[in-house]
Amino acid sequence: MEIRFKDISAEKIPADLLALPVRDKPLEEPALQRLDRRLKGKLAEQIKKSNFTAAEGSTLRYSTAGLLPAAHVLLLGMGKGSEIEADSWRKAAAQAKREAATIGAEELAFFLAPGGDPEAAVGPVVEGALLASYQFNKYRSEKRPASALRSLTLFRPGLRKNAAMDRSARLALSLAPGVFLARDLVNEPPSVTTARYLGQQAKRHCRGRGLSVEVWGRKRIQAMNLAGLLAVNRGSVEEPQFIIIRYKPARARKRVALVGKGITFDSGGLSLKPAKSMETMKLDMAGAAAIIGAMSRLPELGPTLEVTGYIPTTDNLPSGSAQKPGDVIRYLNGKTIEVLNTDAEGRLILADGLALAAREKPDCIIDLATLTGACMVALGNEVAGVFGNHQPLVDRLIRCGREAGEKLWQLPLVKEYREELKSSVADMKNIGGSYGGAITAALILQEFVGDRSWAHLDIAGPAFAEKEMATCPKGGTGFGVRTLLRFLSSY
Ligand code: BES
Ligand code: MN
Ligand code: ZN
């Protein structure tokens, strides 16, 4: 997709689809009035007839029948309010991209309406249009029409492209393939995305220009004593893998460790989930996918940080050899966990990843995991929970998430709740009481990060779209990729 910037007015720009963000009282917008004059008042008529009030998310499409250089006009409701937020731009552009697809438009022109700082709008608009172009069609016999835009032209009279606009357009263009890779990895059926497949994909997408991948199989995992991963894997016929992705630029100012939950399918193990809860459990490697997707873009972005991704991966299945409630795991840092529920498996494998990461003494550790249903109960489908033992790290992640259009909300590490993790035989059990499940899970993770600065993102809600969203079809969302890449570029 080619991105262009143009100093031109709406009634002069040629395009297949001309997208015009409009606010509160559409008929009072000068740009729209000028267009309407060229359209002989028909647009105003249509607005009145259809009761289009420019409510956020509403749209109105009108065919210009040769009266304008643009074939169709699309009004995008931006709601009221004094300032248009980044996320509204992102969603509006995504909507425009979708409308373009339905009418087969290849040249989209997007009006950077007044009321927004054009410089702030460029990034989200380009990003929204790109993200909305994702499809996962591999398993459909009737392919949905490919809907690539040939060009996206951002325009407004007097618009001058500057370095900041160029930079944000480029950033959006370089993030998108990472998001799409993460979506693909999650969307693949769970019998395709096995631990070994994940390792192969990491190798395929993360190599060259400072990136390298190492994948450990069972032997090495045993030798390294990654006891949590081995315990969860006991019910499986697939070999567990431990993936390490390294990014080493010539000069590094800091060392960051990323740890991702890579459960390729979560049946619950012997503590079996009900069928309904299993339907989407291929999503349980979304943390791993976000790390692979993000790290695959590092050579392109070139941050001056050393980044190491640690991904423990296996499926979680019941069988005659599966781990049992009551089993105890002894970890490489000496701590022991009594497994009372085999469905609380994410923390068991993350413990290995965190302990291994902490041993290398990085400046900070960030883990991403579809860890708890409790976090979804608390924050719903669009917001990830973030926990951490170092507030500046948490604040920075929240800020990068806000810029990226990925919502993070901090939840507390309530030390009083450690009581609930007391085990009668081991240092702790792997489940707490009935309440605050996202917190007790995070408290278990905290036991494995030693004295490192650490943040934990519980992405159980936003990792997977159960209904279509503006910037994403149903399925894997690639949540975390954009936040991580902004975070890594922020030093
Ligand atoms: N992978 C699930 C968490 C999850 C649930 C992610 C729904 C996305 C959507 C995790 O392994 C799990 O099963 N957690 C249990 C923990 C419980 C047994 C303490 C849960 O949340 O029910
Ligand atoms: Mn589980
Ligand atoms: Zn799980």
**DSSP of 213-240, one letter per residue?**
EEEE-HHHHHHTT-HHHHHHHTT-SSPP
The whole-number pLDDT of residue 115 equals: 65
The whole-number pLDDT of residue 28 equals: 86
Q: Please, what's the largest Cα pairwise distance for the chain? A: 81
For residue 108, the domain's CATH number is 3.40.220.10
The whole-number pLDDT of residue 414 equals: 98
Q: Residue 194: CB partners within 8 Å, gap ≥ 6? A: 238, 264, 315
Q: Evaluate whether residue 162 is within a structural domain.
A: no
Same domain, 49 and 103: yes
Domain hosting 37: range is 2-155
Ligand 1: which of 341, 343, 420 to mutate, judged by most atoms within 8 Å of the beta carbon?
A: 343
Question: Is residue 341 within 6 Å of ligand 1 at its C-beta?
Answer: yes
Same domain, 187 and 145: no
Q: What is the CA radius of gyration of the chain?
A: 24
Active site residues: 273, 347
- Tokens 């990925």 appear where? 406
Question: Is residue 374 within 6 Å of ligand 1 at its C-beta?
Answer: yes
Q: Evaluate whether residue 163 is within a structural domain.
A: no
The residue out of 88, 121, 155 marking a domain boundary is 155
Ligand 1: which of 315, 372, 381 to mutate, judged by most atoms within 8 Å of the beta carbon?
A: 372
Q: Evaluate whether residue 187 is within a structural domain.
A: yes
Nearest CA to ligand 1 atom 13: 343
Same domain, 313 and 367: yes
Same domain, 11 and 59: yes
Question: Is residue 420 within 6 Å of ligand 1 at its C-beta?
Answer: no
Same domain, 239 and 144: no
Are the beta carbons of 106 and 151 closer than 8 angstroms?
Answer: yes
State the DSSP code for 469: B
Q: Evaluate whether residue 164 is within a structural domain.
A: no
Same domain, 146 and 285: no
The whole-number pLDDT of residue 148 equals: 82
Structure tokens belonging to residue 386: 């973030």
> What tens digit of pLDDT does each residue of 382-392 get?
999 999 999 99
> What tens digit of pLDDT does each residue of 54-103 get?
999 999 999 999 999 999 999 999 988 778 889 999 999 999 999 999 99
The residue out of 155, 190, 214 marking a domain boundary is 155
The whole-number pLDDT of residue 81 equals: 74
Phi, psi (degrees; rounded to nearest 5) at 355: -65, -45
- Those residues of the chain that have pLDDT short of 70 are 115-116, 145-146
Give pTM, 2 decimals.
0.97
Structure tokens belonging to residue 154: 């951002």
The whole-number pLDDT of residue 464 equals: 98
Q: How many domains is the chain partitioned into structurally?
A: 2
Q: Evaluate whether residue 165 is within a structural domain.
A: no
Question: Is residue 349 within 6 Å of ligand 1 at its C-beta?
Answer: no
Report the C-alpha gap between 300 and 252 in whole angstroms.
16
